[in-house]
Structure 1
Amino acid sequence: MNQSVMKALGLLNFFTETEVDLTLSELAQRSKLPKATVFRLLSSLEHMGFLVKSKHSDQNVRYRLGLKLLELGSLVADQLELRRVAQPMMKHLQSEINETIHLVIREGDEAVYIEKVESNHALRLYTRIGRRSPLSLGSGPQLLLAFLPEAEQQRIISGMSFRKFTNNTITKKSDLLEKIQRTKEQGFTLSYGEQDEGTIGFSYPVFDRTANVIAALSVSGPDTRLSGEHMEYAQRKAKETANEISKKLGYIKVTSTV
């Protein structure tokens, strides 16, 4: 483990409801670290926005927790709320279509699978909660990429390196851009065996109260099952479920009157 990171994060634990600001000396005394070390760690935390320094005088310089922690805390709270709202609806969807359901979010330049409800079939896909994926691979990650602001989207795509898993894996930026455009036009994403041969995945957006796409609700399974009427039914039910999750999160769809 990185000792400097652990020491820096350890300093944050000394701030409490009753001691909202502390001096360098107080933090050095409580952490039992040299003042020079504590000063260096505090400077890094301040630079990152985790701490704010208030200089009342040359002899009275105090530190308090920064807004970056509130921002990160809000993200965690949003994810917990998302999972709490989505899980029972995902279970209901699984009971209707009996395919594997995933909830996928974006974290940085990757997609992360944060919830899963498995199908009851003997033949199913191996996935796990916590799995990370490039935003170019599979219906859920691609949907999240498609609904990003264009500047952020272009930044991520420009830095991508593509790995081929199957003959259907997207390995060209031009093909990915075409898929993104198609996703935005139709409002969902389809993936045919891009990571595993003989599979199909499709995803619909989950919106928050500010009308931003915060997750993808994904359904996946073997192409021997997801076809014909069952495919149409599964897609319809998945779309309905994604819409219901969005409503529970406070999203209100605005329809044009023109």
Structure 2
Amino acid sequence: MNQSVIKALGLLDLFTEEEPELSLKEVTERVQLPKPTVYRLLTSLEYCGFLTKTMDSEYDKRYKLGLKLMELGQLVSEQLELRKVALPYMKKLANEINEVVHLVIVNHDEAVYIEKVESTHAVRLYTRIGKRSPLYLGSGPKLLLAFLPDKKRKEILDTATIRPLYKNQIINEIEEIKRNEFAISYGEQDEGTTGISFPIYDYHRKVIAALAVSGPSYRFEGAHLEMIKETTKKSAKEISSEMGYR
């Protein structure tokens, strides 16, 4: 573990409702570290936006929690709210189509599966909440990649270790996903499986997650495939509506 990071983040716990602002001297006294070390840690936290510095005078410089923490807190709150809102609809969808249902979001440059409802089939996919995947593999990740800002999407694809031919295929797929507002994949994460995903929007009309269903490809055919698509699309719209999308 990186002790400098642990020490720096530990300083944030010193700021409370009773003491929202602290001076360098006050922080140093509380953590019992050398003053130059504390100053370096505080400066790093300020640089990253976790702290902000106020100056009552040239000789009285104080620190308080920065807006970066509020941004991160809002992000966590939105993810918790999304899971809470989506889960009843995911359970209903899984009951109707009897296939595994996932809720997938973007985290940094990866897709993360943050919620899951199982099917009752003996033959089914074994995945887990917290699973991570490249944004170019699978219907859910690719749908999220398609709706990222152009600059961010290009950055991800340019740094990905994929063959140029496959990269061109992904770029073509992305245009189709954006046009049709759904994604489908065949055997990309698990051989012999099919995945279908639809976007979930928030009140900013921004795609915040993918509602993904998947299972053995032999169950994703013909009229049954069309039923799965329509039912999943309806569920994604209902979750979006609950998240404030109009």
Give the TM-score category using the shorter length: over 0.9
CA distance in 2, matches of 1:14, 1:175: 51
- Distance in 2 (alpha carbons) for counterparts of 1:135 and 1:161: 12
Larger helix proportion, structure 1 or 2? 2
Give the letter for the 1:49 counterpart.
G
Of 167, 174, 180, which residue of structure 2 is paired with 1:173?
167
1:250 is displaced (CA, Å) by: 0.3
Secondary structure at 1:33's aligned position in 2?
coil
Q: Deviations over 1:208-251 (max 9, x none)?
A: 00000000000000011121222111111100000000000000
| Aligned pairs for 1:79-90 within 5 A | 79-90=79-90
2:207 to 204, 207, 213: 213
TM-score in terms of structure 2 length:
0.97
Q: Is the partner of 2:121 in helix, strand or coil?
A: coil
Paired residue for 1:60?
60
Match of 2:229?
Answer: 235
Q: For 1:141 and 1:80, how far apart are their aligned partners in 2?
A: 20
What is the TM-score when the length of structure 1 is the normalising length?
0.93
Q: Which amino acid aligns with 2:157?
A: I
The match for 2:99 is 99
SS in 1 for 2:219: coil
Residue type of the alignment partner of 2:182: F
What letter matches 1:203 in structure 2?
S
Distance 1:224 1:204 in 2: 21
Q: What is the SS of the residue equivalent to 1:224?
A: helix
What is aligned with 1:129?
129
Secondary structure of the residue aligned to 2:244 is coil
Summarize the Cα distance change of 1:171–1:195 in structure 2 as closer, same or farther, 3 Å threshold.
farther
1:1-258 paired onto structure 2 within 5 Å: 1-162=1-162, 172-252=166-246
Unaligned runs of 5+ in 1: 164-169, 253-258
* Matches of 2:31 and 2:126, distance apart in 1: 45
Q: Secondary structure in 1 aligned to 2:210?
A: strand
Structure 2 residues without counterparts, runs of 5 or longer: none
Q: Distance in 1 between matches of 2:235 and 2:83?
A: 14
* Structure 1 ranges of 4+ moved more than 4 A: none
Matched to 1:188, the amino acid is F
Instruction: Report the counterpart of residue 167 of structure 1 in structure 2.
Output: none
Distance 1:38 1:171 in 2: 51
Distance across 1 between alignment mates of 2:118 and 2:44: 43
How far residue 125 of structure 1 moved from its aligned partner, in angstroms, is 0.9
Measured in 2, the distance between the counterparts of 1:30 and 1:140 equals 47
C-alpha root-mean-square deviation of aligned residues, in Å? 1.2
> Shift of residue 171 of structure 1?
6.4
* AA in 2 matched with 1:116: K
Cα distance in 2, alignment partners of residues 174 and 241 from structure 1 = 31
How far did 1:143 drift? 0.2
Question: What is the number of residues matched between the two proteins?
Answer: 246
What is the rounded CA distance, in whole Å, between the counterparts of 2:165 and 2:230 in structure 1? Answer: 30
